[in-house]
Amino acid sequence: MKIVVVGYGPGGAAAAVAARMFNSEADIKIVTQETLESHRKPGASLALEIPDTNDLAIKDWSWDALSKKRIEVLPGTTVTPADSKLNSLQITGPEGTSTLDYDRLILATGGIPNVPSISGTDLPGVFTIQTMADTSEIGKLLTGMNRVVIVGAGFSGLETAERLVSLRKDTHLIVRSRIMRRQLEESMSTELMSRLPSALTVHQGESPTSVIGDVKVVGLSLGDKKLDADAVLFMTGVKPNVQLAKQLGVKIGSLGGIVIDEKMQTSEDGIYAVGDCVEVIDSFTNKPLLLPVGSVAARAGRQAGVAAVGGKKIYEDTSKRLQYDRIFGTDIVCIGHSSTTAEDMGVKTSVQYINDPSEFANVALVTDSKGQLIGGQVITSRMGARLGYEILERVESGAILQDKPLLKPRHERLRDYLETTYGPIT
Ligand SMILES: Cc1cc2nc3c(=O)[nH]c(=O)nc-3n(C[C@H](O)[C@H](O)[C@H](O)COP(=O)(O)OP(=O)(O)OC[C@H]3O[C@@H](n4cnc5c(N)ncnc54)[C@H](O)[C@@H]3O)c2cc1C
């Protein structure tokens, strides 16, 4: 069996490894436009500070580690459909152009950065972070520049801000409404904001209206206000990269991503898709959802790899958000839905908060109208992963709010609270 995976991000790499685990005979190839072995988009902003991207490689997914699993990586290679033959692709890379046949195809083509439609975004000095190789180049170009403006305050915008502050750049963050609006409840955003260092200047409630400059960036207009800038980084999310999928006749959904089923199978037999290029099926509402998160891509990749080699297993965690990051010394954990993402999908929610000053921890728990825990957020100085895990277990098990007093006078541990209100995990 010939398996071709297009994409060497978390989705593609996980799919190839899972396919190998479940089929020792298959011929498995990963084709990628990436030229660097160490591609690692989650955390790519690290390459601003650490230009040697080899130091940032995920060892398990290195070419060498994959070749030991008999998975061949074809770097610097672009895939397009072959003209006539079914189950065949055209690949163009360092060796020229040739065809590549497949029995099963897994598309993990990622996302394309969203840049607002305003003037000046094509000026030198305007950047998006797309690959680690690009980011390393951006890091070099920023040498000698002082004021850098980041537009967008999601995980990746904040992560990038942290790198620039540590590089002692005069760093400004433009926030349309509030930081991490989709992932965090309002009071959690406020708490996180209060923990950001004074070296980062946050412009809240502002949107760029144009990038200013003739031959290169000199500033950014924010309506009536002008901000001087040597460089502008747009960290304003991604849209699904569905170019190849469209050429292959694969169905695209109303949100602009590839339509998939629970096995990650697309509308075309034998073609699977995972990661930022797809519309995942939300496990709470069964509605399509764009969820461009590396950990989601990796879990979906595992599902696609297993299904592509004929495995029957259905993993149930392929569409749940699990994001953890430590930014500016604060652990930020987001699991499942926030009230914003749930209500966008028509789910009525209520949110309970636990603030534990002794742990410097703030927790928000999001429940639906039946009291089922559908998401949670943690902002804490320490033990974020541990606290997040306590919530994740309950979200995954569909824990329901117990008919018990909600708030104890004082909480020593989140676990106590969760066990009282949602019951122990059995
Ligand atoms: C700065 C930054 C920080 C982030 N931090 C985190 C984080 O901390 N945690 C987290 O979970 N997520 C994070 N993300 C999001 C995460 O990077 C993405 O969700 C994840 O990379 C998506 O994986 P993917 O496999 O779908 O595609 P990608 O990683 O985008 O990879 C797409 C692949 O497809 C290949 N490709 C596309 N078209 C073709 C073609 N025609 N021919 C050949 N190859 C093709 C590309 O070369 C590439 O290898 C971050 C994103 C950014 C930008």
Classify residue 139: in a domain, yes or no: yes
284 vs 275: which has the higher pLDDT = 275
CB 260 within 8 A of CB 279: yes
Measure the N-to-C terminal CA separation of the chain; round to a whole number of Å. Answer: 41
CATH number reported for the structural domain that contains residue 390 in this entry? 3.30.390.30
The pLDDT of residue 426 is: 60
Say yes or no: 105 and 243 in one domain: yes
Query: Which residues are paired to 204 by β-bridges?
Result: 175
Q: What is the percent of the chain where pLDDT is above 90?
A: 70
Residue 350 lies in a domain: yes
Which atom of ligand 1 is the closest one to the Cα of 10?
25
For a ligand 1 pocket test, name from 17, 109, 238 the mutation site with the most ligand atoms within 8 angstroms of its C-beta: 109
What is the whole-number distance in angstroms between the Cα of residue 283 and the centre of ligand 1?
A: 22
What's the pLDDT tens digit per position in 68-116? 999 999 999 999 998 767 899 999 999 999 999 999 999 999 999 999 9
CATH number for the domain harbouring residue 65: 3.50.50.60
Cα 296 to ligand 1 centre (Å): 11
Please, which pLDDT band fits residue 171 given cuts at 50, 70 and 90? very high
Binding site membership of 79 for ligand 1 (Cβ less than 6 Å): yes
Comparing 416 with 398, the larger pLDDT belongs to 398
101 and 164 assigned to the same domain: no
Ligand 1 centroid to Cα of residue 217, in Å, is 27
Q: What is the Cα–Cα distance from 257 to 288, expressed in whole angstroms?
A: 9
Same domain, 106 and 119: no
Top-ranked range on mean pLDDT: pick from 130-134, 185-189, 404-408: 185-189
Atom of ligand 1 nearest to the CA of 33: 47
Kindly state whether residue 362 falls inside one of the protein's structural domains.
yes
Question: Within this chain, do residues 106 and 121 fall inside the same structural domain, yes or no?
Answer: no
Q: Domain limits at 396?
A: 329-412
- Taking only the tens place, the pLDDT of each residue in 319-351 is 888 899 999 999 999 999 999 999 999 999 999
pLDDT at 399: 86
pLDDT at 150 over 90: yes
Burial 56-91 (b: 16+ CB within 10 A, else e): bbeeebebeebeeeebebbbebebeebeeeebebeb
Is residue 424 in some structural domain? no
Q: Is the pLDDT of residue 25 over 50?
A: yes
Residue where a domain terminates, one of 201, 234, 267: 234
Which amino acid, residue 366?
Answer: V
Residue 263, classified by CB atoms within 10 Å of its CB into exposed (0-12), middle (13-18) or buried (19+), is middle
Taking alpha carbons only, the member of 165, 186, 188 closest to residue 177 is 186
Same domain, 93 and 123: no
When pLDDT is cut at 50, 70 and 90, the band that residue 360 belongs to is confident
Let me know whether 142 and 245 are in one domain. Answer: no
Model confidence at 166, pLDDT cuts 50, 70, 90, reads very high
pLDDT bracket for residue 415 (50, 70, 90): confident
Residues 211 and 121 in one domain: yes
Residue 321 lies in a domain: no
Residues 129, 104 share a domain: no
318 part of a folded domain: no
SS3 302: helix
The answer as to whether 83 is a domain residue is yes
pLDDT at 408: 45
Task: Name the token pair of 379.
Answer: 């902002």
The band of 423, judged by pLDDT with boundaries at 50, 70 and 90, is confident
The Cα–Cα gap between 368 and 61 comes to 38
Spacing, Cα 111 to ligand 1 middle (Å): 7
The verdict on the CB of residue 92 being under 6 Å from ligand 1 is no
187 and 152 belong to one structural domain: yes
pLDDT digits (tens, 9 = 90+) for 194-231: 999 999 999 999 999 999 999 999 999 999 999 999 99
Residue that is last in its domain, among 206, 234, 262: 234
Same domain, 11 and 94: yes
Same domain, 87 and 6: yes
Residues shown for the chain: 426
Among the ranges given (13-27, 122-136, 188-202, 241-255), the one the predictor scored with the smallest mean pLDDT: 122-136
CA distances from 125 to 128, 131, 231, 329, 424 (A): 10, 17, 5, 29, 53
Q: Does the CB atom of residue 19 touch ligand 1 within 6 A?
A: no
Confidence bin at 40 (pLDDT 50/70/90): low
Look at the chain and report how many structural domains it folds into: 3
Domain end residue (candidates: 178, 199, 234): 234
What one-character-per-residue DSSP string does 193-226 give?
A: HHTS-TTEEEEET----EEE-SSS--EEEETTEE
Which region, left, alpha or beta, applies to residue 310 given φ > 0 means left and ψ of -120 to 50 means alpha? left
Q: Check residue 264 and give left, alpha or beta (phi > 0: left; psi -120 to 50: alpha).
A: left
Residue partners of 143: CB distance under 8 A and separation at least 6: none
How many whole angstroms separate alpha carbon 333 and alpha carbon 380? 9
| pLDDT score for 99 | 95
Q: Are residues 213 and 119 in the same domain?
A: yes
In this predicted structure, the answer to whether residue 135 has a pLDDT above a threshold of 90 is no
275 lines ligand 1 (CB under 6 A): yes
